[in-house]
Amino acid sequence: MTFEEKKMEYARLIVKAGVHVRKGQTVFIRCAVEHYEFARLVTRYCYEEGAREVIVRYGDTKTARMRYDFAPVEVFRSFPEWDARMFTTFAKNDVAFINIVGEDPEAMKGVDPEKISAAVKASSEALKEYRKLQSTMAFKWNIVAIPEQAWAKKVYPGDNESVAVTRLWNAIFGTVRVGEGDAYEQWMAHAENLQKKREALTAYQFKTLHYTNALGTDFTVGLVKNHRWEGGADRDRVDGGPFFANMPTEEVFTMPDNRVAEGRLVAALPLSYHGNLIENFEFTFKDGEVWGFKAEKGEEVLKRMLEQDSGAKRLGECALVPFPNPVSSQGVLFYDTLFDENAACHFALGACYETNLEGGENMSEEELREHGANQSLIHVDFMIGTEDLRIVGTTWDGEEITVFENGTWAF
């Protein structure tokens, strides 16, 4: 497959597997302005699959940065009501969302953290209904990335810009199984494997998982009762066809009990949070809450993140990713959670996914709280998996089962 053919295969994969566009469906694409050529390619395939209409909204990180630098903080405390209504209306009317990302991981470096937390708060509140529909997979959505120059230079600092961009394209193709054979077929087989793992884990109903590795992690997390492991494909509410909210996706994940987390948890990869890098960091948990933390770089940003609200210090997601996999085998740090979270086992601080709890999508906030489901305006994944990671699960009967050995599945 030539380079151009791979781009076409990727665009087709996003349309067919990513959001599984149906005949007569409207598609809403969000994309950075510099990626217009790829957006046009995706648009064309949407129409080829029978889309009724494709709406494209371009964004621009550079002007967004100017807004952060020059607009007063009050600007970030509100979110346009018409904009929130558009998202909710689309979500309720069977529109398929494609979000094409890829930006400078340090685009927001040095921005006043108060403006960032104000913006996070305002958009989370305004988009609450939309986010609920999104997290319960009430409509089809998909996030994918394509290279941007500053991002590519960050990943491949030794190369000139155009070489770095090409290398990043090729790495991304590798992560999404584009390049050899029919990518769509490979995704269907991959989804089947993930489904087997999630079914086996759900059947065990572990009470706790205990993590250890040479980095110094010695950590126990509790899982909520009646948790469900998810991962791989989600299902179209209309025709049952598979779609993938994230590409790549290598994880299976479930809901931690936000009252049960003890011990030391050391990050294995840096974290890019709203354009700021946090490096060499770790947490100490007590009674489910972050009790201590430190970071060699970005500690102030990390502190702000933890102070966002009362749920920001507790866990909302527990995800397992085996080594090696098509993301980790690229041998680079992507500085982007979409990729890096699929390279390694991770947790998320903040909001949980209600669908990780049996019947959770129909529970009130109060009922969810009683089950130990975490609620927060943030959801931030951080990677803790290493090649020597060991995880032992303990069931409610006290039976111990090794889940991970040397960074990969032990069963």
Question: Which residues make up the interface to Zn ion (CB under 5 A)?
Answer: 251, 253, 317, 319, 348, 381
CA–CA distance, 193 with 71 (Å, rounded to integer)? 49
- Quote the least distance from Cβ 81 to Zn ion, whole Å: 28
Cβ distance to Zn ion smaller for residue 252 or 295: 252
Residue spans of beta strands (DSSP E) within 213-273: 218-223, 234-235, 242-243, 252-254, 256-266, 271-273
Cβ distance to Zn ion smaller for residue 9 or 354: 354
Helices 113-126 and 128-135, axial angle in degrees (round to 10): 70
Q: How many Cβ atoms from other residues are within 10 Å of residue 82's Cβ?
A: 6
Cβ distance to Zn ion smaller for residue 169 or 273: 273
Q: Count of H helices and E strands in the chain? A: 12, 19
Cβ distance to Zn ion smaller for residue 91 or 348: 348
The letter for the amino acid at 335 is Y
- Quote the least distance from Cβ 49 to Zn ion, whole Å: 28
- Quote the least distance from Cβ 220 to Zn ion, whole Å: 19
Cis peptide bond prior to 147, omega within 30° of 0: no
Cβ distance to Zn ion smaller for residue 54 or 378: 378
- Quote the least distance from Cβ 347 to Zn ion, whole Å: 9
- Quote the least distance from Cβ 152 to Zn ion, whole Å: 24
Cβ distance to Zn ion smaller for residue 43 or 308: 308
Q: Find out whether 328 and 344 touch, Cβ atoms under 8 Å.
A: yes
The first and second tokens of residue 11, run together, are: 């665009």
Cβ distance to Zn ion smaller for residue 147 or 248: 248
Instruction: List Cβ neighbours of 114 (8 Å cut-off, separation of 6 or more).
Output: 73
Residue reference for tokens 């489904």: 195
Cα dist. 75→61, 68, 71, 382 in Å? 17, 9, 7, 29
Residue reference for tokens 């209504």: 85
- Quote the least distance from Cβ 21 to Zn ion, whole Å: 25
Query: Of 268, 316, 267, 269, nearest to 289 (Cα)?
Result: 316
- Quote the least distance from Cβ 391 to Zn ion, whole Å: 15
Cβ distance to Zn ion smaller for residue 123 or 342: 342
- Quote the least distance from Cβ 251 to Zn ion, whole Å: 5
CA–CA distance, 105 with 273 (Å, rounded to integer)? 8
Query: Of 120, 110, 127, nearest to 77 (Cα)?
Result: 120
CA–CA distance, 97 with 75 (Å, rounded to integer)? 27
